[in-house]
Structure formats: structure tokens, C-alpha cells
Amino acid sequence: MAFSIKGIKVPHRKNTAGTEVKRMVIENTVTLPMVMHIGAPAVPVIKAGDEVSIGTLVAKAGDGISSPIYSSVSGNVVGISDVVISNGRKVPAIKIDSDGKNTVDENIAAPVITDKATLINAIKDSGVVGLGGAGFPTYVKFNTDKAIDYLIVNCAECEPYITSDTYTMLERADEMAYAIDVILKYIDVKKVIIGIEKNKRTAIAKMKELASKNSKISVKVLPSVYPTGGEKVLVYRTTGRVIKEGKLPADVGCIVCNCTTLATLGNYFKTGMPLVEKCVTVDGSAIQNPQNVIVPIGIAIKDVFEFTGGFKSEVGKVIYGGPMMGISVPSMDEPVLKQTNALLALNEKDSKQGEETACIQCGTCVRNCPFGINVIELARSYEKGEYDKLEKYGLGICMECGCCAYNCPANRPLVQLHKLAKISLREWKEKEGNA
């Protein structure tokens, strides 16, 4: 497979960049699913009737890779019941009625960090997961024995519409700098590279200002193409290092951390306030007033839309995240999750996908793939049930970025096909005893 650096041009539609950010008034019920991260579900530590404040621990991290969850409002616990999250999985969720008082938990205090072990514990206790959308518990990335040359701060924000990371860069640079200082004190990192797309001029200036205060930090301005923010692509574009299939950034001496993730850690290191709120971009062709809003985690999506002024046309589709990698939301009752960075509402016209026709073997999908995956052969093997060939054709390295499907003249749902292929491959391996 050839590693490409060209990417694809997508319309930016950054309508909300640099606009005023409003904080949502909190007088609603929040729903906190025990799965808002990759790994084991969190385990509730409260019961119905308990009083909680902002920042109260309501669920501890489960065994293995997991993340704790904190109340995003003050009020009373209604109870714990199952909810169906957007991937169709049923998970327990804690419901809390807000009392509208926004009382902060009196036990909130900055963590005591004295070495790498206490730093890792603090990152875990913060409840922070990959806030760029990935949801991978952040402490796991830093808990490595591998030699780390580069901490790469992901400021690419390459998906159309989304500008919540731009808000972080413009308004939370001090928190980012604080987190970097603490991390550099206890983890031996040679350099910090802030990777940012060139279409964000004001944010670049802000990041250069941040970098000017520490000789270990530099800013790398990257081409404004999609998917520059993909972890493997970003590592390549900032360091020239290639992460092979099945390997992690740490295997090539890198840790990648999204800028909002970093700023949230900075705030936690400084104040002890864990992850309880998110800046979310609300945009899309059906949205009346595109804007960034700071909302409590767990608030219903419909409440966020109402707060921003609702819709200007019939909604055909709602998406968690951007149009390229986002997930379709089945119900507006679903909550904002830890990793939600955008809520897009598209009108009927923009929600319709063109009719699928037969593949014309044009090769556009292969040329567009950042990893040069042979998408044609991959699709063919999956459809013929030749699961033993899926890895050979690069399924394992596919990051579901959607570049292959973007300009497919046959409107083939290639990303969905790759997702299904991954499930089929896993099942086939289990059956064959090759897992």
C-alpha cells in the first residue's frame, strides 16, 4: 500500500469559526450513558434519589481500559435505566434532574501530581477521552514505556463545519499550555508539534504565540485537505513517520492528543474540575443559527437545537460529528456525549444519497484513499465472502474516513461496507479460531 499525502478537498463550511460562543442554561435532565468511551463501561456509584453537584463522581471506571463519569449538573439522580446508543447497543445510563443551581461539588480540588504514575492517574481521574471524536481514554496513550520523541497536538480540525477545536485554540490556549507544561515535566518528550491546517489563520497566530513561550514547542502548518486530522495521517505529515498496520503512534515514538483534550486536561490539572461540559458546533443546512455552544455532557440533542434557535427547514438527518466521519443520530432524545464535538442537522435535500449503481471500475476510491487501500478488491472480496483476503487488501488499516466514497460516481456506500467487512472478518476469525 502506498501512503499518500494528498488527501481530498472538501468544502470547509466553517460558518461558526470565531463567532461568539454561548453557554447553555442548565435546567434540564441529563442522561449519562456508561459508555462514552472506547473500552469497558463505567460502573455507577450512585442511586436514585442521591443529590449530586457539578463534578460529583457518578460512575467509576470499569476494569481494564475505561473512564469515570462525573455529573454535569447539580440536582437529583432520577435513576439508572437502559438506553440505546447510536450504534444500536443497549447500555445503562444515569439520569439526573438539574435543579438549575449549578452548584459545584465541594470536594473538587486540583490533583497532586509528583511523578509519571500520579500524572497518569490524574489523566484517568479527569474522565478525559479523545474529545476530537475518537473517545479513546486519554490516560492509555500516555501510559507507555516506549520512548516518545514527539507529542503531536492535533489542531487540524479537517472535517467540514466543525469549529469547536478552533474555539479551544482561540480561547483556551492557556489551558493547553498548562497541560503541556505538566506533561513535559513528568514524561520525557523531546518535542511538541502543534499540527494545524493552513485555513485557520487566527488560530495559527494564537498557537505560534503559545509555542514562543517554550523552545520545545513548534507549530507545523499543514495543507488544508481531508483527512489531515486522522491520527496516522497527522503523524506522517508532522514527523514523516509511518505507522504500519496494527501499530500505534507510540510504536513510532509519538503521542497524538487533540487540542480540546489537552485544554480539558490543563483545566483539570489546575482546578480539579473533571470533564463535565463540551463546546459543540451546531450547524448544517437545516439549522437556523449556526453557532458554537458550551453544553453539559448528557443534555438531549433536541434541547441543544432548541437553545440555538431551532431549524429553518424540515430536518432530514442529524449527525454526531462531521459529515465525513460522523454517525447518524436515530433520535433527537439522544444525549451529547463526551466525544461529541458537533451536531449537524441537514435538510431533506442534503440528507439524500444518490441512487447506488454498479461499480464502473474508475479507481477514484483507490486514488482518494490516504493509505492507497485497494478499495475495489476489498469490496469485491467482502461481497464474495472471501474474508481471508480482507486483511491483504488493507481492511485493518482503514480508518473509515470516507475519502473513498466521497467522489464515487456509483454512490457506493463504501464506508458502511468496510464497517460490515470488519465485523464479518472478526466473526470469521472467531469461527476459524484465528482471532
* Residue matched to cell numbers 499518500: 4
Query: Of 353, 361, 385, 433, which one interacts with ligand SF4 (CB under 6 A)?
Result: 361
Task: Please give the grid coordinates belonging to residue 339.
Answer: 466525544
User: Cell triple for residue 10?
Assistant: 472538501
155 versus 376: smaller Cβ distance to ligand SF4: 376
Helix and strand numbers (H, E) in the chain are: 13, 17
Strand partners, 91: 83
Q: For residues 109-128, which are near ligand SF4 according to CB under 6 A?
A: none
CB-facing half-sphere around the CA of 50: CA atoms within 13 A: 19
Q: Which is nearer to ligand SF4, 175 or 231 (CB)?
A: 231
Binding to ligand SF4 by residue 413, rule CB under 6 A?
no
408 binds ligand SF4 (CB under 6 A): yes
CA–CA separation, 178 vs 259, rounded Å? 12
Instruction: State the minimum distance, in angstroms, from the CB of residue 88 to ligand SF4.
Output: 20
Among 113, 182, 346, 415, binds ligand SF4 (CB under 6 A): 415
376 sits near ligand SF4 (criterion: CB under 6 A): yes
Alpha carbon distance 185, 264 (integer Å): 18
- Binding of ligand SF4 by 363 (CB under 6 A): yes
**What sign results for the dihedral spanned by CA atoms 153, 156, 159, 165?**
positive
CA–CA dist 65, 229 (Å, integer): 24
- Of 359, 386, 424, 428, the one binding ligand SF4 (CB under 6 A) is 359
Residue 400 Cβ, how far from ligand SF4 at the closest point, in Å? Answer: 5
Kind and range of the H or E run holding 351 = helix 348-351
**359 touches 410 (CB < 8 A):** yes
Among the residue ranges 97-105, 169-177, 370-378, 425-433, the one whose residues contact ligand SF4 (CB under 6 A): 370-378
Helix orientation angle between 164-171 and 201-211, rounded to the nearest 10 degrees: 40
Which of these ranges, 38-46, 81-89, 90-98, 365-373, lies near ligand SF4 under the rule CB under 6 A? Answer: 365-373
Scanning 232-240, 253-261, 269-277, 410-418 for contacts with ligand SF4 by CB under 6 A, the matching segment is 410-418
Q: How far is CA 223 from the centre of its chain?
A: 21
Name residues whose C-beta falls within 8 Å of residue 416's C-beta, 6 or more positions apart in sequence: none
- Please identify, among the stretches 151-159, 198-206, 292-300, 407-415, the one whose residues bind ligand SF4 according to the rule CB under 6 A: 407-415
Which CB atom, from 159 or from 283, has the smaller least distance to ligand SF4? 159
Write down the least CB distance from residue 417 to ligand SF4, Å: 9
Distance CA 153, CA 184 (A): 13
For the CB of residue 409, give the shortest distance to ligand SF4 in the complex, in Å: 5
* In the complex, least distance from residue 384 CB atom to ligand SF4, rounded to whole angstroms: 15
Q: By CB under 6 A, name the binding residues for ligand SF4.
A: 359-365, 368-371, 373, 375-376, 398-404, 408-410, 412, 414-415, 418
